[in-house]
Amino acid sequence: MVTTCGNPQDYLTLKKILTVMKLSLILILLFSVQLSAKVAAQQVSLQVKEERLDRVLRAIYKQSGYAFIFNGKELHKAKPVTLNLKDVPLDKALKVLFSNQPFEYSINEKIITVKPKKTDLRENLVQSFQQDTVRGIVTDSLGNPLQGVTIRVMGTDKGTVSNEKGQFLLLRVPQSSTLSFHLLGYKDTVLGAVPNLEVSLLTSVGELEEAEVIVSTGYQEIPKERATGSFVYIDKKLVNRKVSTNVLERLDGVASSTLFNKGLGTGNNASFNIRGRSTIFANPEPLIVMDNFPYDGDLNNINPNDIESISILKDAAAASIWGVRAGNGVVVITTKKGHFGTGPQITFNVSTSVSSRPDLHYQPQITSKDYIELEQYLFNQGYYDNTLDNGYSAISSAVSIFNQTRSGVISKSDSASLINSLKKYDVRNDLEKFIYRPSVNQQYAVSLHGGGSRNRYYVSAGYNQDIQNMKGSSFNRFTIDANNTYNFLKGSLQLMTGVFMATTKTNSNADFYSRPFSPYDRLIDENGNHLPVMQPLGLRSEFINNQDGRLLDWNYRPLDENSNNNRSEMTDYKVNANIKYEIFNGLNIGINYQYQKGFTDNVLSRSINSYYVRNLINSYTQIDPESDVLTRPVPLGGIENVGNTNYRSHYGRFQLTYERDLNAFGDINVLLGSEIKDYKFGSTSDILYGYNPSDGSSVPVDHLTFFSQYYGYGGGYIPYGSQKSFGTDRVRSLFFNGSYLFKSRYTLSFSARSDESNIFGVKANQRRVPLWSSGLMWDIGSESFYHFNVIPKLKLRFTYGYNGNVDTSVSAYLTARMYEINYWGAQSSSIVNPPNPSLRWERNRNINFGLDYASKNNLFSGSIEYYIKNGIDLMGNSPIAPQTGIIEFKGNTANIQTKGVDFMLNKNSIGNSDFQWSGTVLFSYNKDIITNYKVKQPNNAQIVIGNYVNPVEGYPYNAIFSYPYRGLDKEGKPIGMLNNETSQDYSSITNSKDISNLIYSGSATPLYYGSVRNDISFRNFELSINIVYKLNYNFRRSSVFSGSNYDYTVADFDKRWQKPGDELITNIPALTYPINYSQDGFYRGIDALIERADNIRIQDIRLRYNFKKLSKNKLVNNLQLYAYINNVGIIWKATDQDIDPDYLYSSYAGPRSFSLGITTNF
Amino acid sequence: MKSKILLFIAIITLSSGCNEEFLDVKPNSAILNPTTLNEFQQLLDNFRELNTTGGIQQMSSDDYFIVDKSRFDALTNTQKGAYLWSKDLYAGDANIQDWNQCFNAIFYSNSVLDGLDGISLSPEIHKQDYENLKGQALFYRAYAYFDLARNFSPVYSKSSSESDLGLPIRLSSGIDVSVERSTLGETFSQIISDLKSAELLLKDEFSQQYRNRPSKVAVAAMLARVYLYMGDYNEALNFAQQCLSKYNKLIDYNGVDTLSLTPFSYSTEEIIFFSYQQTTYSTTTGYGTNQTSIGVNPELLALYKTNDLRFPVFFIKNSLGNYNVRRGYVGGGLYPFTGLATDEILLIKAECLARANRTVEALEVLNSLLIHRFKEGLFIPVTADSAEEALGKILIERRKELVWRALRWSDLKRLNRDGFNVTLQRSLDGETYTLLPNSPLYVFPIPEDEIALSGIKQNIRE
């Protein structure tokens, strides 16, 4: 199959060949030659023994393309078939086949109708005298024309198939006969024959047999029916249900077992998890595959309109073909292709989404009035004295007034009126008005697709323009996707080429004014002048205004900084080619190649007018005390941070597949192949000083001298930013996947993969990791003993196997990392990790039990799955005696176990042609526990603050711990517990090492989650509502007044203890001075601040209207209008706090967005 | 057609064969697998790992006081324990850098030494460069071990050196074994043998640029420091002289800006070998202009005479009216200089001469240093009537000159051994704490995690 050795030139030869291939494939694609059709006489070969008739008919269909209409209920009448035919013309083969069967057949176009032999001559005669012509059009419920619908005149051998416009024509149809309409994926429909028919077929979602779902593993497409593994399939319709720029966001709330990690604070968490956690410190993100290969570019570059379907691979049997990269699950994105034998069709989709201005009052905080009172108290206590004494550090306007009053600069009454005027302001109002804005996202997508008998094509272009909530922030994207498939040699050779290109532009304001110094700051006065404000590390106005006139203006005016100074442009393209050749019946050989390249240019451009530049120049300004000469080590002019990153990847794959129906011996399906990956990335960056944007010139600066700062006693070096880095990621793999179906009820599967990579830089024999999985499926419903009529369809699945994961931060050798240039001008490096000769890949042992079911008449269908994942050999830290020079050693020492249940229930469409109702219920249970972890957290404070740094054995990765709290004492001081006794020794409580002094307050990730989606259609309207729920999880309120934190962003200051007796009605401590860090640390970690995060929300609502009448118009086939509301609102939440658990730590909750769109095709 | 296709497939298939080089590519430019001399030099140039010393000895010394109880309360347990000479010094604090950081430096040195073993000399690899690098690594190892020995072992005394506990001696980088504590005698002979081997290997010239790198001058200076601590004054004198014969530059403080907040640079001419105090305890040991938690011991400040430029150069008054140390030989750095400098070597020479009853020479050496420290023309040379008086004056000057250089603690240890009999006292919140001469509390406890993980013997502190 694959040579196991060769000389070093082989790889280069391959590269050359592939490069040439790549070019020629583009040419083929661009010139898109239409191949002439050559009709060949249909010949078939059949070698069967005692085989069921329907299977023989299927084999004929596969070989000839002639479809059969056959009533399955009459199958029991059929006799077993034994035949040995080789390259026999079809008509002759049929004659032989039916010679001893109680059936007769007739051929009409490409449809062969099989029916029981009839003897009633009179009936035939009557029919032949009363005949009519029937013409009509078949569409789906949205009015899209359906091609390939089999239309049969019942009781006769007449039939036809609808064309690409959904039209059909039947001549000489007996009067008052009935027509049946059949198409895979739609419900069979029966109607009386009238001359002009308009038929719309209803989809049969989730029907086990009729709607054959094809899932993709990225290596092969397999009917979900026959897969032992655990897959989630998201079709085009579901992908397009949401309106969003990013494709993965569209999985949120509709994909079973997939949880988007919203509201999680810190830790090594992925943006979304498939079946919970599988690792601790290694990469937690699922692998994203687009068509055949992992997608190396930015996911924001994919146009969701180009997506045909998404398959999520959950267990080992589904994902182990991806080996070491599959540990966190795999998301396989399949893009749209054209269809053979359809005329050109153009689809156009345009939508606009608008969201409101963010509400910055979302997080509770002290009112301006209360905060000024707090400042007054602290001022009187002398809290600000050190800061005031140095003469330059930033102080708030109120403190400045207090200070001036104390030193007699302003009178008491002036002070009072100034303070009173401050109390009225709320800077959040100014921010909402001048820094934020409503967002507007526009999407345009157009595609052209179709195909002849020998080729098919899909070309699309998409444009997105997102104007984001922060002023100056925007995102633009332009995408092109083009693919083309050709068949040669009677279809035994297939060539597919594809080109994908995306360019994006992102603008943002790097100096975005996010956190005002005081809650009552003002950005603009009554006359519209932009006002200067304090910055946390800035300088106070009294200092600024008394400086040497030769300095630049040192004021910071946020509204003057409102520019989109940070711009990045990304270009990403991907070219692929795919050859498939059928050597002989069932044996295919395939070669895939993909080249992807992307580069991003980043420019952060700050002019001399920006505060950043003015501040840097002023801070470094030197004034010689003797000569009074002023020098500026940072030159006048702009500062330009430039950078670019780039990557390119080659993927090559060679694979053999063998599919064979061995008749009585079952079906066999085998895939064997090898793959190679070569991924390179690099980046460079630089900082240019004294930059002149008109000619691009800049000025060299002295980075090696330590300059003292203009004010205070500090100093530093001028920031140096010339950097270059690069790297290579290479993988070589062998894989095998096989399944065997016998007696039509038992499927056995086995999959294995071995990867070798350069990432560890280890010896050749340690680079390789073999991973495997195996699965079993039993179709109980097909057993003769199974007679349970309520659930006629029942299947059991069981899989077992291993996936892997990678931690690229470790190595088997002593590795070092480039570090700084030291003070003496020498490049230094630091040791990253000591040699670890026993390093292994992380592994995930997966066990999955699955049950697929469907009720009678397919009213309900779905699946239940139970899984256990054991992360073993996970990278974990182990303590090691410090005399070795190292205190923690990273090695394969930790384990994690994740258990869960996934449940899916589809209520399939019911109702009549006017009204239909269908729905889906998703439910997942998921719990992870760290089962082995060597390093203990140094003390309880560390466990409370950051359990994830060194997870605690026996608890989830995202566990929340808290200190038991016993209310306030008579002085308003919080009471805690230490060693089972009440205690107010906060530092002993927080420094305790005994974990029994803590309370486990549950996990920060939901134990139960899922969604309930209802789709209702009434005539031309279609409504879809998705309700998402997340249950049994917790969060810690982080911004609460602790008595000893003086920041204005905390809540409940007004509820604090103020007088004896208050301890009976409040939990908020009295104001404490001086600052007591241990009280603050303790109070922030108490159990009383833990809240349940459970919530149920209406995630989104979609309403669609179909202009069905337009289907008669020749120009436009159909037109749909849709409206969509995202983030509709919370229906129920467990906490009384006015906070959305999905947006715990952001300054505003996700604004509700409204979209309107049109889809049409012609 | 069919055969053409099969041929094409055959070519593709055959050419996808493997060559081992394919997987030998370095995954990331930022990751090095050090194998060349240059890469080993880069490791040794990481001064943050290799040129650091502990801080507990500074915090335990009598150079400073903590202002009040509330400021004391804000400190870490180790800072508190070191200040009050508590028996349970760390009180639960983990990751004690005074121990860990030195062993980290030893790990770096051993990694380089192990790596050098795997390199054979070739036309591209010059013997001199190779040996110079090896000499550097040996020096760093000795430097770290000496810092550990003065903190975690009793003061060296020849009579008890075979029974006193020294340190685990690690001579290879492998992390899979832990080593028992050697005797203090073995520890010191390892330090001396490493330094003496380094002397043979290092290049002759002293690099004015790379003052972070070990040199022959640094070896001599270090040997002088080590022998002085061991009480071998003849050897200390011998190496101090060796050192000064090669390098003896002094700065005249008359040329130093007494107003500047950064009077010196990282390459100040007096520096023979740069090291600084690890960064954990900056609130009680760091340089800085407004360290309000602490003040320099007024008794110490009172020792500086008028016209002594060291006072305005070294100290600055903070917002509470106490004095803080402005900055030493570290440019704009905030962590105290603890390396080897010519002033220290001159003081070692003077002390050893006085101990050898060579009073005149001793005072001559002392005055040659002090004249650079006083306002020009206003220096009155130190005189003494006896060697003993001279020694006393030299030791006072040593304290004043080497203030905040982490030498006071080890000086107290060795001087008390020799009968100096200094009792230290502190008071905090109305309570008085006393440290008697030669108390076992002079030996810091070995961090708990080390004891727990390697099972080595703990120091007895009562």
What are the strands, taking DSSP E only, across A807-914? 815-821, 827-833, 842-854, 860-879, 888-911
Query: How far is it, in rounded angstroms, from Cα A373 to Cα A396?
Result: 13
Contact A881 B19 (CB under 8 A): no
Contact A819 B262 (CB under 8 A): no
| Integer CA distances (angstroms), A666 to A208, A739, A879, A1101, B36, in order | 20, 10, 55, 46, 62
Give residue A811's pLDDT band: very low, low, confident or very high (50, 70, 90): confident
Structure tokens at A162: 């609808």
pLDDT tens digits, one per residue of A639-651: 999 999 999 999 9
pLDDT tens digits, one per residue of A224-259: 877 888 999 998 889 988 888 888 889 998 998 999
Pairing of strands A131-140, A196-201: parallel
SS (H, E, C) A162-199: CCCCCEEEEEEEECCCEEEEECCCECCEEEECCCEEEE
**Which of B4, B31, B453 should be substituted to probe chain A, the one whose Cβ sees the most A Cβ atoms within 10 Å?**
B31
CB of A4 within 8 Å of a chain B CB? The answer is yes
Note if the bond before A1074 is cis, omega within 30 degrees: yes
CA distance, residue B234 to nearest chain A CA (Å): 33
Structure tokens at B229: 């601590």
What are the strands, taking DSSP E only, across A615-745? 622-623, 630-631, 638-661, 667-692, 697-699, 707-708, 715-716, 723-742
CA distance, residue B193 to nearest chain A CA (Å): 20
| SS3 (DSSP) at A799 | strand
Average pLDDT, chain A: 85
Pairing of strands A330-335, A287-290: parallel
Contact B103 A758 (CB under 8 A): no
Chain B residues whose CB is inside 8 A of the A879 CB are: 449, 453
The B residues from 172 to 211 touching A (CB cutoff 8 Å) are: 173, 175, 178-179, 209-211
Contact B47 A822 (CB under 8 A): yes
Average pLDDT over residues A743-751: 89
Q: Among B17, B34, B46, select the one facing A4 at the smallest CB separation.
A: B17
SS (H, E, C) chain B: CHHHHHHHHHHHHHHCCCCHHHHCCCCECCEECCCCHHHHHHHHCCHHHHCEECCHHHHHCCCEEECCHHHHHCCCHHHHHHHHCCCCCCCCCCCCHHHHHHHHHHHHHHHHHHHHHCCCCECCECHHHHHHHHHHHHHHHHHHHHHHHHHHCCCCCHHHCCCCEEEECCCCCCCCCCCCEEEHHHHHHHHHHHHHHHHHHCCCCCCCCCCCCCCHHHHHHHHHHHHHHHCCHHHHHHHHHHHHHHCCCCCCHHHCCCCCCCCCCCCCCCEEECCEECHHHHHHHCCCCCCCCEEECHHHHCCCCCCECHHHHHEEECCCCCEEECCCCCCCCCCCECCEEHHHHHHHHHHHHHHCCCHHHHHHHHHHHHCCCECCCCCCCCCCCCHHHHHHHHHHHHHHHCCCCCCHHHHHHHHHHCCCCCCEEEEECCEEEEECCCCHHHCCCCCHHHHHHHCCCCCCCC
Structural contact between residues A51 and A97, judged by C-beta atoms closer than 8 angstroms: no
Q: Among A17, A816, A993, select the one facing B15 at the smallest CB separation.
A: A17
What does each of the 462 residues of chain B score in pLDDT, given as a tens digit?
A: 667 666 666 665 555 555 567 777 777 777 777 888 999 999 999 999 999 999 999 999 999 999 888 788 878 889 999 999 999 999 888 889 999 999 999 999 999 999 999 888 887 778 899 999 999 999 999 999 999 999 999 999 999 999 999 999 999 988 878 899 999 999 999 999 999 999 999 999 999 899 999 999 999 999 999 999 999 999 999 999 999 999 999 999 999 988 777 889 899 999 999 999 998 898 899 887 778 889 999 999 999 999 999 999 999 988 788 999 988 998 878 899 999 999 999 999 999 999 999 999 999 999 999 999 999 999 999 999 999 999 999 999 999 999 999 999 999 999 999 998 999 999 998 999 999 999 999 999 999 889 988 889 999 988
- Of the candidate ranges A266-270, A525-529, B126-130, the one whose mean pLDDT is the lowest: A266-270
Largest CA distance in chain B: 113
Query: How far is it, in rounded angstroms, from Cα A672 to Cα A750?
Result: 12
CB of A881 within 8 Å of a chain B CB? The answer is yes
Q: How many CB atoms are located within 10 Å of the residue A43 CB?
A: 15
CB of A732 within 8 Å of a chain B CB? The answer is yes
Q: Among B20, B266, B450, select the one facing A823 at the smallest CB separation.
A: B266
Return the sign of the alpha-carbon dihedral for residues B354, B359, B360, B366: positive
The A residues from 1068 to 1097 touching B (CB cutoff 8 Å) are: 1074, 1077
Query: How far is it, in rounded angstroms, from Cα A202 to Cα A211?
Result: 12
- Of the candidate ranges A40-54, A82-96, A925-939, A1092-1106, the one whose mean pLDDT is the lowest: A40-54
CB of A676 within 8 Å of a chain B CB? The answer is yes
Query: How far is it, in rounded angstroms, from Cα A259 to Cα A275?
Result: 8
Residue A249: which H helix or E strand, with range?
Answer: none
The B residues from 52 to 71 touching A (CB cutoff 8 Å) are: 70
Chain A residues whose CB is inside 8 A of the B48 CB are: 830
Chain A residues whose CB is inside 8 A of the B23 CB are: 730, 732, 756-758, 764, 767
pLDDT tens digits, one per residue of A137-158: 888 766 777 877 888 887 777 7
Contact A761 B108 (CB under 8 A): no
The complex's ipTM works out to: 0.90
**Which of B11, B21, B32, B290 should be substituted to probe chain A, the one whose Cβ sees the most A Cβ atoms within 10 Å?**
B32
CB of B4 within 8 Å of a chain A CB? The answer is no
Structural contact between residues A689 and A699, judged by C-beta atoms closer than 8 angstroms: yes
Contact A818 B211 (CB under 8 A): no
Query: How far is it, in rounded angstroms, from Cα B16 to Cα A732?
Result: 10
CA distance, residue B249 to nearest chain A CA (Å): 19
Which among B347, B12, B161, B175 is positioned nearest to A579, based on CA atoms? B12
Higher pLDDT, B123 or A788: A788
Query: How far is it, in rounded angstroms, from Cα A329 to Cα A310?
Result: 13
Query: How far is it, in rounded angstroms, from Cα B271 to Cα B214?
Result: 11
Contact B9 A732 (CB under 8 A): no
| Integer CA distances (angstroms), A379 to A382, A406, B292, in order | 5, 10, 19
Contact B14 A726 (CB under 8 A): no
**Which of A626, A883, A1075 should be substituted to probe chain B, the one whose Cβ sees the most B Cβ atoms within 10 Å?**
A883
Give the phi and the psi of residue B356 in degrees, each rounded to 5: -90, 15
Residue A417: which H helix or E strand, with range?
Answer: helix A412-423
Alpha helices, DSSP H, located in A175-324: 236-239, 316-319
CA distance, residue B81 to nearest chain A CA (Å): 15
Chain B residues whose CB is inside 8 A of the A882 CB are: 96, 99-100, 103, 447, 449-450, 453
DSSP A95-130: HHHHTTSSEEEEEETTEEEEEE----HHHHHHHHHS
| Integer CA distances (angstroms), A748 to A52, A739, A797, A951, B441, in order | 22, 5, 10, 39, 72
Structural contact between residues A507 and A566, judged by C-beta atoms closer than 8 angstroms: yes
Query: How far is it, in rounded angstroms, from Cα A1069 to Cα A161?
Result: 78
Query: How far is it, in rounded angstroms, from Cα B396 to Cα B401?
Result: 9
CA distance, residue B308 to nearest chain A CA (Å): 24
CB of A43 within 8 Å of a chain B CB? The answer is no
CB of A11 within 8 Å of a chain B CB? The answer is yes
Does A1 have pLDDT greater than 60? no
Query: What pLDDT was estimated at residue B11?
Result: 63
CA distance, residue A990 to nearest chain B CA (Å): 12
Q: Give the CA count within 13 Å in the CB-facing half-sphere of A707.
A: 23
Q: Among A708, A829, A831, select the one facing B261 at the smallest CB separation.
A: A708
Chain A residues whose CB is inside 8 A of the B68 CB are: none
Which among A1107, A1095, A1104, A1128 is positioned nearest to A1024, based on CA atoms? A1104
CA distance, residue A831 to nearest chain B CA (Å): 7
CB of A823 within 8 Å of a chain B CB? The answer is yes
Structure tokens at B302: 């009172």
Q: Which residues contact A133 (CB under 8 A, 6 or more apart)?
A: A169, A170, A171, A172, A173, A195
**Which of B46, B113, B275, B324 should be substituted to probe chain A, the one whose Cβ sees the most A Cβ atoms within 10 Å?**
B46
